[in-house]
Amino acid sequence: METTIKITIDNITKKKADVIRAALEPDNVDFPEGLSFEMENLDNALVFNFHSTGNMKTLTATIDEVLAHVSMALKVME
């Protein structure tokens, strides 16, 4: 099964998006086979693209972990 999930955080400043990207970059390595994750800034949005050709549990756990890190970074910036 092949799955692609796109999550967008709208109305985010470039500064906040850059901080989130920097916080996530060190963990954005050594993904399990069949799983990929990319981030991109588009206008006032930060977009997360997840792609999996493997286990859905691994995909959902990865998404959960990424969103937890994003949430923590946003709280720290408040």
- Residue 33 confidence (pLDDT): 84
CA distance 75 to 63: 18
Which residue spans within 19-78 are E strands per DSSP? 35-42, 45-52
Task: Give the helix/strand (H/E) hosting 11.
Answer: none
Tokens, residue 24:
């996530």
- Residue 8 confidence (pLDDT): 96
- Residue 4 confidence (pLDDT): 96
Q: Which residues pair with 52 in a beta bridge?
A: 3, 35
pLDDT in tens for each of the 78 residues of the chain?
Answer: 899 999 999 999 999 999 998 888 866 667 778 999 999 998 899 999 999 998 899 999 999 999 999 999 899 988
Supply the pTM of this predicted model: 0.86
- Which sequence spans correspond to the domains of the chain? 3-77
- Residue 28 confidence (pLDDT): 67
What fold does the segment set 3-77 form as a domain?
Answer: TATA-Binding Protein (3.30.310)
